[in-house]
C-alpha cells in the first residue's frame, strides 16, 4: 500500500482515493478548447499511479502524447461528507507538489467517442508527488506561485489565485459526491502551458511555500 508523509512528522498516511479536478484554470480550458463546466469535473486516479520524488515516469507504449499538468495537491487528514466551505481547510493535513500526467491522445480519442477517459489519467507513474508540507505552514493555499520546468526551461507558470474554484470550494463540492477520508489526495487542476514530455526529459515542479518535485522520463 502506498504511504505519504508530512515533512518533519513521523506520521504516515495510507493513500486512499486520489481525486483530480479538471478545468479549474480558465487559460488551460481555453488552450484545450474545452467548455467552462457548470459543475466541477471530477475524476479519480488509482493509488497505484503514485510516483515518489526522484522516480522515473514510464509512458505506456500505447500513447505518443503524454502531457505534464502541474498541480497543487491536498492531503485530507480529517474525514467528512458535505463539508462546508467555512470549515474545509480544517480537513486538510498538508499540501504537496503533484503532476497529473495525461495521455492526451488517448483522452481525446475516448472523449470524442463519449467514453470515460480515466484510463488516460491513471496509468502507473501518472501521479508524481512530493512529500507533504504541514497544512499549518501554508498560510494561504489560494495564493501560491506554481512553476514547472522541463530540462531547465519554464513550461508552466501560474498562481492558485487563478483557480476558478478555491481550495475551500473544491473540498465542499467533492464532498457532496464522495466521503473524504484521511489519506485521500485531491489534485486541484492545472494552469495553462501543458505540453508533451518525452523520454529523457527532466521535470522540476515547484510551488512557493510548499516544496518541489523532481522526476525524469524513462
**Dihedral sign, CA of 17, 53, 144, 75?**
positive
The alpha carbon dihedral of 31, 100, 44, 145 has a sign of negative
- Residue 42 or residue 182: which is nearer to Mg ion going by CB? 42
- Please check whether residue 52 is in contact with residue 132, taking contact to mean a CB–CB distance below 8 angstroms: no
Q: How far apart are alpha carbons 211 and 35 in whole angstroms?
A: 32
Strand 66-67 and strand 56-57: pairing? unpaired
Distances in Å between the Cα of 191 and the Cα atoms of 13, 21, 72, 157 are 28, 12, 10, 7
Taking the complex as a whole, how short is the minimal distance between the CB of residue 112 and Mg ion, in angstroms?
19
- Supply the minimum distance, in Å, between the C-beta of residue 43 and Mg ion: 9
* Contacting positions for Mg ion (CB under 5 A): 69, 100, 190
Find out whether 15 and 183 touch, Cβ atoms under 8 Å. yes
CB closer to Mg ion, 69 vs 184? 69
Residue 21 CB, nearest distance to Mg ion (Å)? 7
CB-nearer residue toward Mg ion: 126 or 133: 126
Q: How far is the CB of 59 from Mg ion (least distance, A)?
A: 16
Nearer Cβ to Mg ion (6/120): 120
Q: Record the cell numbers describing residue 208, joined without a space.
A: 512557493
Q: Which residue is nearest to Mg ion (CB)?
A: 100
**Minimal distance in Å, beta carbon 146 to Mg ion?**
12
Query: CB-wise, 6 or 97, nearer to Mg ion?
Result: 97
Amino acid at each position: 500500500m502506498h504511504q505519504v508523509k508530512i515533512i518533519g512528522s513521523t506520521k504516515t498516511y495510507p493513500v486512499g482515493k486520489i481525486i483530480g479536478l479538471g478545468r479549474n484554470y480558465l487559460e488551460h480550458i481555453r488552450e484545450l478548447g474545452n467548455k467552462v463546466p457548470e459543475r466541477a469535473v471530477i475524476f479519480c486516479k488509482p493509488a497505484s499511479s503514485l510516483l515518489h520524488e526522484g522516480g522515473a515516469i514510464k509512458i505506456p507504449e500505447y500513447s505518443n502524447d503524454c502531457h505534464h499538468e502541474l498541480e497543487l495537491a491536498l492531503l485530507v487528514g480529517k474525514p467528512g461528507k458535505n463539508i462546508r466551505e467555512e470549515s474545509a481547510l480544517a480537513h486538510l493535513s498538508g499540501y504537496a507538489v503533484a503532476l497529473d500526467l495525461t495521455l492526451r491522445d488517448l483522452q481525446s480519442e475516448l472523449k470524442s467517442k463519449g467514453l470515460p477517459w480515466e484510463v488516460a489519467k491513471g496509468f502507473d507513474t501518472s501521479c508524481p508527488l512530493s512529500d507533504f508540507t504541514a497544512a499549518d505552514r501554508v498560510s494561504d493555499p489560494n495564493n501560491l506561485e506554481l512553476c514547472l520546468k522541463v530540462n531547465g526551461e519554464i513550461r508552466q507558470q501560474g498562481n492558485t489565485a487563478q483557480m476558478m474554484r478555491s481550495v475551500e470550494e473544491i473540498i465542499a463540492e467533492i464532498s457532496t459526491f464522495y466521503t473524504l477520508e484521511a489519506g485521500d489526495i485531491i489534485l486541484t487542476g492545472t494552469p495553462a502551458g501543458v505540453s508533451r514530455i518525452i523520454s529523457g526529459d527532466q521535470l522540476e515542479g515547484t510551488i512557493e511555500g510548499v516544496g518541489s518535485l523532481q522526476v525524469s522520463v524513462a
